[in-house]
Structure 1
Amino acid sequence: MPFGPGATIFLAVCVFFAGVVDALAGGGGLITLPAYLAVGLNPALVLGTNKLASSLGTVVSTVRYHRALKFSIKDFLPVIAASMIGSWLGARAAILVDPSWIRPMLLAALPVVAWLIWSKKDFGALDDSCRLTAAERQRRGILVAAPIGAYDGFFGPGTGTFFAIAFARWGRHDLLGATARAKILNLVSNLAALGAFLWAGRLDWKVGLSMSVLSIAGHTVGSHLGVRKGAALIRPVVAFVCAGLFAKVLFDALR
């Protein structure tokens, strides 16, 4: 490792904790990206290194959730495609337009979202998706995945959290089912981004693979807790991630 023992332990703890949070509610990058920078990793390599570790962790939590819920991946493929197309369009738009204009919108929306989740005690507690036809669930999934995928390509932070909230609200899934579906979309997005970083050589293999062990451990613990505790645990973690994202966006806007 290119860091001292103290910095390595600090980074390992951050990556593990981020894996737990990410498996439950998304938003792990809010913890890991500042941590990589804090220990002195080359800023040009931070995003790629983080994607390597987080992608391997996300594979574990995605498989864990899918094994627990056993929903049809085949029926979900159009939703995955919508997310990928939206992400590509968002990335193209980011080349042409300054993404910073979205910050005021997030600053206005995030406190409202966090308050709604926290104040509505039964948010995501029940799965009413069976009241929708398979075609309607798919249609709603596409309508959710395309714009959030575009946001992921255009700006990015908190994408997994927004997916989970949207699937719970409009897909009528409980937060466990919503998080499981969000993990699949996050994994696809992460692997696509990782491929781009690999192509450009923008990652530190030694750090990324070392931290992937902690990321996998964190995702294992987080997904295990998510499956066991369900919405009772996921709901407050989602609210916490919204608050953390709000603080980050506000800090970036004022800096």
Structure 2
Amino acid sequence: MHLAIETYALLTVVAFIAGFIDAIAGGGGLLTVPAMLSAGVPPIATLATNKLQSSFSSATATFNFSRKGLIDWRTYWPQVVVILILSGLGAWIVQSIKTDVLKLIVPVLLVAVAAYVLLSPRMSDEDVHHRLGTRGYLPVGGAIGFYDGFFGPGTGSFFATSLVSLRGMGLIRATAHTKAFNFSSNFGSLIVFLSTGHAMILLGLCMAVGAASGAWTGSHTAIRFGAKVIRPVLVTICLALTAKLLWDALS
């Protein structure tokens, strides 16, 4: 598919903004997916190309958070592997199944996430006692990873909120681990999409430059300002995703 040079440039700028937002609270696809669809990229190619560029974004944010010692790889590497596998399975299944039901269910879940972030005193930078052990969290994280490969909107919000509410993490550490899990789910589903030849490689790589730059900036912002910036952005992303999904479902 041929796209004009200015379209590549515009989508790269959009990817930068999305990468910045995604590194803080997730939801970058809220910008990149509609932008690619508006540029005339076919839906399945849009999903595949979005996974390519967002893999670079989440990898950059993961590197930044890990370098600051905010990711416990020794404890969570099994979770990363489970998410990788199940996200690939989700991406394989979605290519033959309609997602109309999810378009109605996910907005309800996102509103619940936004309400929890606004009202829960646990949404701070301080770690608290966990309600679920690392093994108990494996199926939870795996299910979110599968969802990311299968559908995707709100994945970062679901990871972050579940890590705070179930694993007792402070919001900064939850955001850091969310990016590691997001990279795993992006990469797992990307492998499947690449094997089926749907991704637009050149466009994905151009957008990856913007996304990685945005993620670098966004992750530094999250590390510096913590919950006071993560919390409002997380709520905003949840509500914006909810509005978009409801609009898509009803229109």
Once the two structures are superposed, the pairs formed by residues 1-255 of structure 1 within 5 Å of their partners are 2-5=3-6, 7-87=7-87, 90=90, 98-120=98-120, 123-128=123-128, 131=129, 137-255=133-251
Shift of 1:181: 1.0
Question: How many angstroms apart in 2 are the aligned matches of 1:146 and 1:124?
Answer: 25
Shift of 1:140: 3.9
RMSD, aligned α-carbons? 2.5
Taking a change above 3 Å as real, the CA distance of residues 71 and 50 of structure 1, as seen in their structure-2 partners, is closer
- CA deviation digits over 1:181-211, x for unaligned, max 9? 1111111111122212222221222211111
Taking a change above 3 Å as real, the CA distance of residues 211 and 108 of structure 1, as seen in their structure-2 partners, is closer
Taking a change above 3 Å as real, the CA distance of residues 163 and 44 of structure 1, as seen in their structure-2 partners, is closer
TM-score normalised according to structure 2 size: 0.88
Give the secondary structure class of the aligned counterpart of 1:69: coil
Taking a change above 3 Å as real, the CA distance of residues 107 and 199 of structure 1, as seen in their structure-2 partners, is closer
Aligned length in residues: 250
- CA deviation digits over 1:55-105, x for unaligned, max 9? 112111101011113443122122223334543565576578643223333
Judge conservation of contact 2:122–2:165 (CA < 8 Å) in 1: no
TM-score normalised according to structure 1 size: 0.86
Question: How many angstroms apart in 1 are the aligned matches of 2:149 and 2:223?
Answer: 29
Question: How many angstroms apart in 2 are the aligned matches of 1:188 and 1:200?
Answer: 19
Give the secondary structure class of the aligned counterpart of 2:4: coil
Query: Unpaired runs of 5+ in structure 1?
Result: none
Taking only the aligned residue pairs, the percentage that are identical comes to 36
User: Comparing 178-187 with 190-199, which one deviates more in the overlay?
Assistant: 190-199
- CA deviation digits over 1:84-127, x for unaligned, max 9? 45435655765786432233332333223212312446613311
Shift of 1:149: 2.3
Query: Unpaired runs of 5+ in structure 2?
Result: none
Judge conservation of contact 1:80–1:185 (CA < 8 Å) in 2: yes
Counterpart amino acid of residue 171 in structure 2? L
Shift of 1:32: 0.1
Question: How many angstroms apart in 1 are the aligned matches of 2:96 and 2:35?
Answer: 30
Taking a change above 3 Å as real, the CA distance of residues 115 and 221 of structure 1, as seen in their structure-2 partners, is same
Shift of 1:132: 5.1
Taking a change above 3 Å as real, the CA distance of residues 86 and 198 of structure 1, as seen in their structure-2 partners, is closer
Judge conservation of contact 1:124–1:169 (CA < 8 Å) in 2: no
Counterpart amino acid of residue 69 in structure 2? L
Counterpart amino acid of residue 211 in structure 2? S
Judge conservation of contact 1:57–1:215 (CA < 8 Å) in 2: yes
